[in-house]
Amino acid sequence: MFARFSCIAVIALLATGCANTSPTLGSKNISYGDTKAVETVTNEFGSTDLQMIAESMTRSLAQSGILQGRPVVQVYDVKNKTSEYIDTREITTSIKTQLMKTGVARFASDNNAMQSQVDQLKLQNQSGLYKKSTVAKTGNMVAAKYRIEGSISSIVKRSSDYKDVFYKFSLQLIDVESGLAEWMDEKEIRKTTER
């Protein structure tokens, strides 16, 4: 019996090259796709969700009539209350970009960009490296009239046949001086996968 197994082994080794079945480089099918195409690869948060939320929020805010006279707005982080690693900054960046493009608002440095802004001002004013007439003066930064903040949460349910994910994205515009919420909207998304 040992001889039989040895024979099988030898054939197997010859046939499989000691199971060396590494994939070959350069044999993959790669193509570029439409960035706006609806993505349903998995039911986790994806590019279509990001685009839907950003478009819906921008439209709602721009049409609300609150943003008169291109006010200065500061964008805060959107709290991620889900268990998914959703980069909510990408959502607010999209909203900010679209509002900037339509020209309805101006944006003050947000919390993350503030340090770079302060460092640059310090560098220009304290290093002695720059021509005085070109140096940006301190004390002239424009304060925000409004701040934008929000959150995203989700409810996930599974059964043996289905997985259902419900996302709720809320955003609000708050008047910094009065503390009043001047605008608020939310976008709900439901994604169901049949297993």
Partner 1 sequence: MRPCLLLTLLLTAITQLAGCAAYRNYDLELEQTTEQLKQGNVAGSLALIEAHNPDEQKDLLYYFEKGAVLSAGGELPQSQAAWRSAEQMVVERQDTIETTGDKLLTAMGNHWGSIINDKLRRYDGYDYEKVMLTTQMALNQLAVNDFDGARADIKKTHEREALIARQRELEYERVEEVAKQQGVRVHYKDLQGYPVVMLDAPAVIALKNGYQSAFSHYLAGFTYEALGEKNLAAPGYRHAIELRPDLPFFQQALRDLDSPGLKGDESDVLIIVQSGLAPARSSLRVPYPVKLADGQVIVANISFPVMVPDTSTRSFSQIGIDGRQKKLIPVNSITDMSLRTLRDDMPGIIQRTTYRAFLAADVQATDNRRDPSKASYVTHWDGFEQADTRTWRTLPNLTQVLRLRLKKGEHTLTLPHLNSAAPLKIRIDQNRQVITLRALGDRVFANGSAFGPGKTVAERVVNNLTR
* Comparison of 60 and 193: residue with beta carbon closer to partner 1: 193
Among 44, 55, 164, 182, interactor with partner 1 by CB under 8 A = 44
Residue closer to partner 1 by CB (options 70, 81) is: 81
Q: Which of residues 24-43 bind partner 1 (CB under 8 A)?
A: 24-25, 27-29, 42
Among the residue ranges 3-11, 57-65, 129-137, 183-191, the one whose residues contact partner 1 (CB under 8 A): 3-11
Distance CA 51, CA 76 (A): 19
Question: Closest approach of Cβ 42 to partner 1, in Å?
Answer: 7
Binding characters for partner 1, 53-82, by CB under 8 A (x = yes): ------------------------xxxxxx
**Per rule CB under 8 A, is residue 18 in the interface with partner 1?**
yes
Q: Which stretch binds partner 1 (CB under 8 A): 64-72, 83-91, 130-138, 182-190?
A: 83-91
Q: Does 85 bind partner 1 (CB under 8 A)?
A: yes
Three-class SS string for the chain? CHHHHHHHHHHHHHHHCCCCCCCCCCCCCCCCCCCCCCCCCCCCCCHHHHHHHHHHHHHHHHHCCCCCCCCEEEEEEEEECCCCCCCHHHHHHHHHHHHHHHCCCEECCCHHHHHHHHHHHHHHHHCCCCCHHHCCCCCCCCCCCEEEEEEEEEEEEECCCEEEEEEEEEEEEEECCCCCEEEEEEEEEEEEEEC
Which residues sit at the interface with partner 1, rule CB under 8 A? 1-2, 4-6, 8-9, 12-13, 15-25, 27-29, 42, 44, 77-89, 111-112
